């Protein structure tokens, strides 16, 4: 496995870029498109091979965009802003479809259910994960994130500060990562808290499940480590290190053989899951890398895998993955 740099765009946004996600190919669009969100309050769309800009920036937020997620059907996406709103929009036109509010706290990471019928959002200082249905955009429930026994209070004082969420590929599990390093696992069929995963002691900003094993979870943490958990057995089955500073973002390749990470050490790393080691480091960016995202499979004319990264330095980079 190897990354090869294809294209970089400097000044892709007017402010720092904190989010990136691929909208899959859709019935009306034969290729996936890359979406990026920035502190300039906009979301931009880019073509998958040459990073040519598609249309005008999508607007609608009053503060910076900190998280993005694309619906698996490819037509819609959700953008989270520091203004505490989630704006659901049409990927191709940028037009707003729905605006969701999650009081009493700001929202952080978001993720669509693999079947697209629900949207999960990390509720920040509310200490919860909030779920909406995607047909009428109405709240389904709010899942409280309990504190592990003996845990010290995090920045919320008495509760949890929830940063990240991830669905298992079969949609039966939901994981959420918190400021104190704990990870909560839920049974989404019964909407029931199952258990915590232990090992991190600093903010868990990004998580992703394996596409080939619905119980394996990869996590990125400010402690500079990437952890691999078996969520069924509640066990840490692997750990990888190599970044010199916080690991801010993580994604897994569609074949399930590699993960990519972005860090505040300004690098993107590619990791071999079986070898549990870093196999390549890319230094395209001059500031911290807030987002990495593998292009999903499918679409016309797909010749090779793609990885995108987005940075505080306002740039985005595209890599060939093979």
Question: Which comes out higher in pLDDT, residue 160 or 79?
Answer: 79
CATH number of 3-147+159-321: 2.130.10.10
What average pLDDT does the structure give for the chain?
A: 92
pLDDT digits (tens, 9 = 90+) for 246-286: 999 999 999 999 999 999 999 999 999 999 999 999 999 99
Does the pLDDT at position 152 exceed 70? Answer: no
The pLDDT of 224-239, averaged and rounded, is 97
Where along the chain do its domains lie? 3-147+159-321
Q: Which of 99, 70, 68, 64 is nearest to 85 (CA)?
A: 99
Provide φ and ψ at 290, rounded to 5°. -85, -20
Report the candidate in 111, 193, 116 with the shortest Cα–Cα distance to residue 160: 193
State the average pLDDT over residues 138-165: 76
Judged on CB neighbours under 10 Å (0-12, 13-18, 19+), 20 is buried
Give mean pLDDT, residues 182-197. Answer: 96
More confident residue, 149 or 205: 205
Tell me the per-residue pLDDT of 6-39, one tens digit each, with 9 for 90 and over: 999 999 999 999 999 999 999 889 999 999 999 9
Find, among 137, 134, 132, 133, the residue nearest to 121 by Cα: 132
pLDDT band at 126 (very low <50, low <70, confident <90, very high): confident
SS3 string, the chain, reads CCEEEEEEECCCCCCCEEEEEEECCECCECCCEEEEEECCCCEEEECCCCCCEEEEEECCCCCCEEEEEECCCCCEEEEEECCCEEEEEECCCCCEEEEEECCCCCCCCEEECCCCCEEEEECECCCEEEEEECCCCCEEEEEECCCCCCCCCCCCCCCCCEEEEEECCCCCEEEEEECCCCEEEEECCCCEEEEEECCCCCCEEEEEECCCCCCEEEEEECCCEEEEEECCCCEEEEEEECCCCCEEEEEECCCCCEEEEEECCCCEEEEECCCCEEEEEECCCCCCEEEEEECCCCCCCCCCEEEEEEECCCCEEEEEEC
Q: What confidence category does residue 151 fall into, taking pLDDT thresholds of 50, 70 and 90? A: low
């Amino acid at each position: 496995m190897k990354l090869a740099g294809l294209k970089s765009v400097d000044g892709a946004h007017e402010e720092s870029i904190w989010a990136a996600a691929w909208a899959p190919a859709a019935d009306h669009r034969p290729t996936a498109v890359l979406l990026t969100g920035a502190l300039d309050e906009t979301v931009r769309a880019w073509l998958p091979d040459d990073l040519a800009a598609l249309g005008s920036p999508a607007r609608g937020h009053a503060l910076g965009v900190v998280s993005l997620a694309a619906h698996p059907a490819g037509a819609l996406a959700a953008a989270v802003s520091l203004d505490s709103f989630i704006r659901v929009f049409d990927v191709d036109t940028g037009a707003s479809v729905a605006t969701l509010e999650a009081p009493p706290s700001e929202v952080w990471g978001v993720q669509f259910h693999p079947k697209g019928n629900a949207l999960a959002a990390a509720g920040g200082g509310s200490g919860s994960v909030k779920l909406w249905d995607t047909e009428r955009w109405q709240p389904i429930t709010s899942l409280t994130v309990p504190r592990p026994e003996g845990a010290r209070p995090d920045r919320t004082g008495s509760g949890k500060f929830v940063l990240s969420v991830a669905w298992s590929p079969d949609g039966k599990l939901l994981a959420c990562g918190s400021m104190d390093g704990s990870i909560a696992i839920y049974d989404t069929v019964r909407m029931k808290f199952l258990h915590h995963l232990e090992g991190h002691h600093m903010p868990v900003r990004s998580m992703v499940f394996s596409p080939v094993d619905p119980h394996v979870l990869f996590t990125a943490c400010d402690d500079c480590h990437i952890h691999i958990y078996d969520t069924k057995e509640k066990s840490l089955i692997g750990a990888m290190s190599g970044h010199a500073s916080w690991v801010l973002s993580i994604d897994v390749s569609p074949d399930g053989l590699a993960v990519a990470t972005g860090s505040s050490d300004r690098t993107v790393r590619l990791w071999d899951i079986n070898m549990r080691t870093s196999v390549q480091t890319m230094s395209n960016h001059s500031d911290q890398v807030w987002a990495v995202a593998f292009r999903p499979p499918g679409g016309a004319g797909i010749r090779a895998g793609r990885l995108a990264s987005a940075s505080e330095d306002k740039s985005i980079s595209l890599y060939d993955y093979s």
